[in-house]
Structure 1
Amino acid sequence: MLRRRESVADKLYRYRGVATVVAVPVVLILLIVLVMPRSAPKMFGGGEVAETLAEEAEGKATRIKAPTGTETYAVVFDAGSTGSRVHIYKFVEDEGEMVLQGDTFDQLKPGLSAYPETPDDAAKSLEPLLKLALKTVPENLQKSTKLKLGATAGLRLLKEGQADAILASVKKYLAASPFQMDDKTGVTILDGTMEGGFAWLTLNYLLGKLGQQESETVAAIDLGGGSVQQAFAISQADAKAAPDGYIIQLAGGPQMYNVYVHSYLGFGLMAGRAAVLDWEDTRAANPCIPNDHAGTYEYGGKTYQLAGSSSGAAFDACSKVVKLVLKLDADCGAPVTECAFNGAWGGGPKRPSAIYVSSYFWDRAVEAGVITESDAITWQLKGADVIKAGDKACGTPLSEMGSAFPLVDSKQLPYLCLDLSFQHTLLTEGFHIPDATPITLVKRVQYKGQEVEAAWPLGAAINLLSDSHRG
């Protein structure tokens, strides 16, 4: 008997049970996909630095799930050795990425370390900066806005117990504000490695380098008052061969970076002054100080005597003292060509071609007349530019320096020769950057139509806003 041809409708009806079994999970999968949240904003950070700060998010922060246009703020206090600063960062969500839209900034002097015996006064000194944060962040967002204070080299150099007392007072003071501050990690002394890592992260974020190969990123050297940090990305092979304690991993977009970071505590500009003035062979006659000046220099709770040489200050003679202070011949446990100074490994034979230097490098370049445009935010220079300014500073009598260097505070004039000699020797001898190599001085970076300061607090803010850390 011949069967009639089965129609499509008949087949569907005959296999209706099988179709139901297959269709149900497919529909469920589609529903799950539709209701899943969009990917979290792309916040850069990770590795050891980010993991160290993971406690800031634990139990409190959630992954940011904001529609396009949503505003988010972060408040970061930078408590340095010479002053305190505040950054109030404003981010706006744009297609799944948190884009920095603004940085409201202010600073004041002296820093927290100026109150070693009066910790409550140290906390109270932050009042103008806290008021600015309260004025900047909309009232309805203050309770959800994260706040962090990171103290740097200045507090690290105080006597045992003094720094803890200051931090406790500061924590109590800031906790009374409406901002959200982690009880355990909201107020801390930043490890130099974290500070340097955040500075590198900030600079490359603003320059749009994150996500590119390590050879396309830039090196960051940040000169503070108490310490100097150097950071740059190196290859996976070089990272594996590196000595312990120098490499951290940071995630920048889709790229995971091995970043060489080292902080030289005691070799910031203000600490460097103290070391040069205290060098045993120069205490009676220091070639870094004008011959017509005598006085004292206060740093880290100690007093140093100033005594110029009878022949006057001289850039080359001062640089020789700085070389001794840097301990260029100290063994770093690697080939001599890979050593930096003070017994530290310098990051290996392959150094980045693009070098950005900031903080006191910028400030002294402005004051010494190296940077000649008042509205500049970056500036290209070579070692010869610093030598020229240094020769002028060292060869000018103190009585004439005020007119020769009108941008220098009168109290800082006796140290200008020393500062420029220190900076030049640090770069050329300490970090092995030839005089002919172009260096970019950076104060701020042009980022999406705005000028943003290239400092570590932005890197800290990015980590502060994210609870998703890749290690």
Structure 2
Amino acid sequence: MMGKLHVKPLLFAIALVTVAGMTIIALILSLVKHQTVDPPYLTQYGMVFDAGSTHTSLFLYQWSGNKENNTGVVSQKLTCDVKGDGISSYVTNPPGAGQSLRECLDVALAAVPDSQRRTTPVYLGATAGMRLLSLQNQTQADIILAEVAKTLQSYPFDFRGARIISGMEEGAYGWITINYLLEGFIKYTFDGKWIHPKAGRILGAMDLGGASTQISFTPKDPVKDPNSAIDLQLYGFRYELYTHSYLCYGKDQALKRIQAHLQKTTGSLTTVIHPCYHSGYNLTVALGDLYDSPCVDKPVPFDPTLKVTFLGSGDSQQCWSLMNSLVNLSNCALFPDCGFNGVYQPPVSGEFFAFSAYFYTFDFLGLAPRTPLPQVLSTVDSFCSKSWDTLLSQYPKVKEKYLRDYCASAQYIMTILLEGYKFNATWDQIYFVKQVADNDIGWTLGYMLNLTNLIPSERPLVVTGVQHSQWAAEIFFIVFALFLSLLILIVLCIWSPDSQT
């Protein structure tokens, strides 16, 4: 016999099942760990060619797709030295300037994943060597840059340009590099956060290249000359930087100017005594090579085929006096805020890193990274007084063209730092360095770091701690199970058995 319909038990069962079901769902949702996480950012890459006056180098950088206050956290992945001289030397063979880059480009090609190559920007920045060439022959400089660009565009990278950077840019980017590597701008904490140091250690930067030299630092007082000031915005903070680049005061050009000065003042076309060359050393130079730079005034009349021989005397004091005449201090006698050659410079402040030729010269003499001033002066004087034969026996593996110039380079460096920049009382604030945290010091990292502000930050979609597909399957199973249980209970309530016959 069919069961009777029980309305009140039915309503009670439905209510009971509904409340129980909602309670179970709430309990499950509260127990499941549901949080948002960001997947790892894709590593991005960037390349900068440093086309200097004497050589070219490639620097490959990498950084995570996320950024801190719109500035990428960049690190050096690899470097590659291009064989041969700087691109400015390819005046008679412009295509050769581009071809010289291929070996290092192939190295970078192997280092960057195939999927990342098309989005990897590549830049070439030419410095003082090309600045000088552009002064001599702008058309020729443009042709060389065009050939370089043609080669870079032939590779599967995102070519962003090949250009001559200004001296102020070179100085500013070198300053950025140093302070970035020393965590002066941003610092990684133990709890996994990037913070701006409340009392960041901001250092000055001094770069000595082949054709120019730069000094950059944040002075105690505002910069008085707007032409020497750069405002930088990094990691959400503003910095006012003093920077100046002395074109024609790089190491190689300075030593060439010394040769020309000696030749013109003596008036000799045969032999000239050179106090910065070691006794027993001699060097013969064609006048065409001696006066081939816009940094050197050509004599009139001028016969480029004639030759002059420089005879070393190893006179350290005369060499020092010669360098003082090269660094023009007379224009700075009337006002205190002056470096040399009549250039405005506020008083140096804080610690400084000196790199490039500064480091290579002092490292060879055993004076890096820091040595008391009296010991530096005695070491330079002792080295310059050695005979050429003594040096050859002491340094048999050093190339002669480098060995002959260490004395002159050291004397020139001391003149710039003491007489020009006036580090007499703060000498112990200078560190002669090449690398920091396995990264080379120079302008290229600062350049790449600054350019990351123009590269869009990668912002992937936020996903839940449990995958969407897994979460949906679990919810569906729970709802289906509750629905099935509810249906069974309803059926049991409606068709409850009637024991009466």
- Determine helix, strand or coil for the equivalent of 1:162: helix
Q: Distance in 2 between matches of 1:230 and 1:67?
A: 42
Amino acid at match of 1:461: M
Which of 191, 200, 203 aligns to 1:218? It is 203
Which residue of the partner structure matches residue 265 of structure 1? Answer: 247
Per the TM alignment, residue 305 of structure 1 is displaced from its structure 2 partner at its CA by 4.3
- Determine helix, strand or coil for the equivalent of 1:238: coil
Q: Distance in 2 between matches of 1:361 and 1:405?
A: 20
Change in 2 beyond 3 A, CA 1:278/1:383: farther
Residue 308 (str. 1) matches residue 308 (str. 2): no
Which residue of the partner structure matches residue 142 of structure 1? Answer: 117
Change in 2 beyond 3 A, CA 1:69/1:407: farther
Q: Distance in 1 between matches of 2:439 and 2:351?
A: 19
Per the TM alignment, residue 143 of structure 1 is displaced from its structure 2 partner at its CA by 0.3
2:332/2:339 contact within 8 Å kept: no
Q: Distance in 1 between matches of 2:422 and 2:273?
A: 29
Could you give the per-residue CA deviations for residues 424-464 of structure 1, whole angstroms, max 9, x where no partner exists? 11111111011762111111112xxxx11111101111122
Q: Distance in 2 between matches of 1:226 and 1:234?
A: 26
Residue 387 (str. 1) matches residue 361 (str. 2): no
Q: Distance in 1 between matches of 2:421 and 2:324?
A: 12
Change in 2 beyond 3 A, CA 1:167/1:433: same
For residues 59-458 of structure 1, the aligned pairs below 5 Å read 68-93=40-65, 96=68, 98-108=72-82, 109-158=84-133, 159-160=136-137, 161-182=139-160, 186-210=161-185, 211=196, 216-235=201-220, 237-239=221-223, 242-279=224-261, 280-281=264-265, 284-296=272-284, 298=289, 301=292, 305-308=308-311, 312-331=313-332, 336-346=335-345, 348-349=346-347, 351-371=348-368, 379-406=369-396, 408-434=398-424, 437-438=427-428, 439-446=430-437, 451-458=438-445
Amino acid at match of 2:92: E
Change in 2 beyond 3 A, CA 1:460/1:260: same
- Determine helix, strand or coil for the equivalent of 2:63: strand
Q: Distance in 2 between matches of 1:365 and 1:380?
A: 9
Per the TM alignment, residue 294 of structure 1 is displaced from its structure 2 partner at its CA by 2.4
- Determine helix, strand or coil for the equivalent of 1:135: helix
Q: Distance in 1 between matches of 2:76 and 2:200?
A: 29
TM-score between both structures, scaled by the size of structure 1: 0.75
Could you give the per-residue CA deviations for residues 271-311 of structure 1, whole angstroms, max 9, x where no partner exists? 111111111436722211224222245578458845135xx
Amino acid at match of 1:457: T
Q: Distance in 1 between matches of 2:415 and 2:384?
A: 15
Q: Distance in 1 between matches of 2:140 and 2:441?
A: 30
- Determine helix, strand or coil for the equivalent of 1:267: coil
Q: Which runs of 5+ in 2 are unaligned?
A: 1-36, 186-195, 294-303, 457-501
Change in 2 beyond 3 A, CA 1:403/1:367: farther
Amino acid at match of 1:178: P
- Determine helix, strand or coil for the equivalent of 1:337: coil
- Determine helix, strand or coil for the equivalent of 1:272: helix
2:207/2:214 contact within 8 Å kept: yes
Structure 1 stretch displaced more, 160-169 or 142-151: 160-169
Structure 1 stretch displaced more, 258-267 or 401-410: 401-410
TM-score between both structures, scaled by the size of structure 2: 0.71
Could you give the per-residue CA deviations for residues 351-379 of structure 1, whole angstroms, max 9, x where no partner exists? 222111000111112222334xxxxxxx2
Structure 1 stretch displaced more, 274-283 or 355-364: 274-283
Q: Distance in 1 between matches of 2:248 and 2:164?
A: 15
Change in 2 beyond 3 A, CA 1:215/1:265: farther
Q: Distance in 2 between matches of 1:336 and 1:301?
A: 35
Which residue of the partner structure matches residue 446 of structure 2? Answer: 459
State the aligned residue count: 382
Q: Distance in 2 between matches of 1:253 and 1:369?
A: 37
Q: Distance in 1 between matches of 2:200 and 2:344?
A: 20
Amino acid at match of 2:247: L
Q: Percent identity?
A: 28
Q: Which runs of 5+ in 1 are unaligned?
A: 1-37, 39-65, 372-378
1:219/1:233 contact within 8 Å kept: yes
Per the TM alignment, residue 136 of structure 1 is displaced from its structure 2 partner at its CA by 1.2
Amino acid at match of 2:394: A
- Determine helix, strand or coil for the equivalent of 1:264: strand
